[in-house]
Amino acid sequence: MPLLLLVAGSAAVAAAARRTPAPAPLLLVAVGLAVSYIPGVPSYTLDPHVVLPLLLPPLLYTSASDSSYLDLRAQLRPVALLSVGYVLFATLVVGWAAYLIVPGLSLPAALVLGAVVAPPDAVAATAVARRVGLPSRITTILQGESLLNDATAITAYKVALGAAVGAGATWAGGIGEFALAAVGGVGIGLVLMAPLHWLRTHLAEPLLQNTLSLLIPFVAYGVAEGVHASGVLAVVVVALYLGHRAWEVDFATRLQEEAVWKMVAFVLESAVFALIGLQLPIVLKRLGEYEGASAAWYAVAVFLVVVAARFAWVYPATFLPRLLSARIREREPDPTWRGAMVISWAGMRGVVSLAIAFAIPSAMAAGPRNLILFLTFTTVIGTLVVQGVTLPPLIRLLKFPARDRQAETLAEANAQAQASRAAEARLDELLSDERNALPPPLADRLRTVLERRRNAVWERLGQVNPVTGESVDDTYRRLSREMISAEREVFVRLRDHRYIDDEMLRALLRRLDLEEAAAFREAG
């Protein structure tokens, strides 16, 4: 029952957030904080054994499969600088600062804190980027960073933790462990991606294909973690490959898969942010000896160091390589201080940091362990509140160039024209074979549908209706929807009067749904 309440409540809050200007992640955290103090509310402990293997893989998978492999490859250098270089830099800077600020905190324990709060969260970054409409290059860099940085942070955490609990870990050994985890994770992803794709394309039923789709992230993560490689990288590699080759799966599977993963991502993202807010009583209960004004000061100081460290890394990493390398200047577009500002400020932390902090074993002394948990929580909340609230107005203030919708539509129209010419040539070739003979009305219908697709995009570039403000294409779609709706009402009425049964009604409605899906693509 507590799990059902969590899912239902977080989904309701996320749905309500869509009707308000407040970002959904922030509203979910705020409601979770408030609800955590209501008497009788169950205790929702963030179990790292649940969050990391059960929540992280599907969230990474859906984000990576929606990302562009080609765009990520084009931005590989800045993504690597952030997902590896920045995470290690933040681990050292935050750890050293905490060591200096907190009396009695050992350097290894402070570095554990640095590793825990180093990685910006994949869920937070994706949610904010989707909401505020960042320029495509910046969005690609942030998404790529958030997909890959967890592997770096988890490895750095393991090394620092080994030193903190006296397990004899060394930084040289840590570098070897990181290399093994990275190479192993990528290698397992490369090994799994082709067989999984083959299986997806050879299963006959869309239902089976989508069941496999839900299992893939857990399989990739579990296999990699089972051999002590990076499950994060394995999931990302597999998801990027399958997303890049998604066109090879039949249309029914794609329609179902899109709907299924949108639902899964919505439920998991909502529950994750609500869980962050619900952790406050647990964190405060474990604070122990670190209380009062001193704890508040430590929290503010660590938050400020986390924010400053990102600026200290992003600006040099953005501009120095261009000064030092003519090849980079030739191959990559000029960066702007505005883009660096947004990347620096878009460093929200999330549930992964909290899950790692909760996973700190009892072998570490209770005082430092509880303090790390508290400072992780305050850093996560601080970045979500301060940066999450101010990022959209910051982007508006910086006045990034708007997307050139006219140029995008023209490119789409040219692509459609080339595809239509190929389809028309193929149709002529098929109809010339007597085995494919069709009555003239049916052959003409095929040509009419093809012409309709070819003209639809060009019509969006033309004049609009002076009365409704619609393009010819918009009017066509609206009238088509009205016609389909009229058909649907007749089918339902016939079912209600027992002229057809429910099985036939479902078949007829599915046919209309597919026609409507073909006629109405998502805006934008």
CATH of the domain at 277: 1.20.1530.20
Model confidence at 123, in pLDDT bands (50, 70, 90)?
low
Asked if 169 and 315 sit in the same domain, the reply is yes
Cα separation, 155 vs 151, in Å, equals 6
Would you state the pLDDT for residue 273? 81
Would you state the pLDDT for residue 206? 83
The model's pTM is 0.81
For 408-446, letters b (16+ CB in 10 Å) and e give eeeeebeebeeebeebeeeeeeeeeeeeeeeeeeeeeee
Asked if 351 and 489 sit in the same domain, the reply is no
More confident residue, 412 or 78: 78
Model confidence at 87, in pLDDT bands (50, 70, 90)?
very high
Would you state the pLDDT for residue 164? 78
Asked if 449 and 485 sit in the same domain, the reply is no
Would you state the pLDDT for residue 524? 37
**Cα–Cα nearest to 108, from 175, 150, 151, 171:** 171
**Cα–Cα nearest to 160, from 368, 448, 450, 418:** 368
Q: Which of 146-150, 210-214, 285-289, 490-494 has the lowest mean pLDDT?
A: 285-289
Asked if 106 and 7 sit in the same domain, the reply is yes
- With 70 as the cut, is the pLDDT of residue 421 above it? yes
For 189, the domain range is: 2-398
**33 found inside a domain:** yes
More confident residue, 98 or 43: 98
| Percentage with pLDDT > 90 across the chain | 20
Cα distance from N-terminal residue to C-terminal residue, the chain: 39
Asked if 165 and 39 sit in the same domain, the reply is yes
**468 found inside a domain:** no
Asked if 434 and 511 sit in the same domain, the reply is no
Q: Sign of torsion, CA 19 24 26 27? A: positive
Mean pLDDT of 429-443: 82
Asked if 391 and 490 sit in the same domain, the reply is no
Q: Which of 259-268, 304-313, 369-378, 434-443 has the lowest mean pLDDT?
A: 434-443
Please give the distance of CA 521 from its chain centroid, rounded to a whole number.
22
Would you state the pLDDT for residue 133? 63
- Dump strand ranges (E) for 275-401: none
**240 found inside a domain:** yes
Asked if 508 and 429 sit in the same domain, the reply is no
**84 found inside a domain:** yes
- With 80 as the cut, is the pLDDT of residue 403 above it? no
Would you state the pLDDT for residue 85? 93
Asked if 32 and 137 sit in the same domain, the reply is yes
- With 70 as the cut, is the pLDDT of residue 50 above it? yes
Would you state the pLDDT for residue 311? 96
Asked if 394 and 441 sit in the same domain, the reply is no
For 194-233, letters b (16+ CB in 10 Å) and e give eebbeebeebeebeebbeebeebbbbbbebbbeeebbbbb
Asked if 488 and 441 sit in the same domain, the reply is no
Would you state the pLDDT for residue 214? 93
Residue 225 contacts by C-beta under 8 Å, 6 or more apart in sequence? 53, 231
3-class SS at 469? coil
- With 50 as the cut, is the pLDDT of residue 522 above it? no
Asked if 385 and 429 sit in the same domain, the reply is no
Residue that finishes a domain, picked among 357, 379, 398: 398
Model confidence at 306, in pLDDT bands (50, 70, 90)?
very high
Question: What average pLDDT is seen over the chain?
Answer: 82
**373 found inside a domain:** yes
More confident residue, 209 or 44: 209
**138 found inside a domain:** yes
Q: Looking at the 3D structure of the chain, how many domains does it have?
A: 3
Model confidence at 523, in pLDDT bands (50, 70, 90)?
very low
One-letter amino acid of 502: D
Report pLDDT digits (tens) over 8-37.
888 888 888 777 776 777 788 888 888 888
- With 90 as the cut, is the pLDDT of residue 157 above it? no
**467 found inside a domain:** no
**474 found inside a domain:** no
Would you state the pLDDT for residue 459? 64
Q: Which of 49-53, 86-90, 124-128, 256-260 has the lowest mean pLDDT?
A: 124-128
**Cα–Cα nearest to 29, from 266, 271, 275, 277:** 277
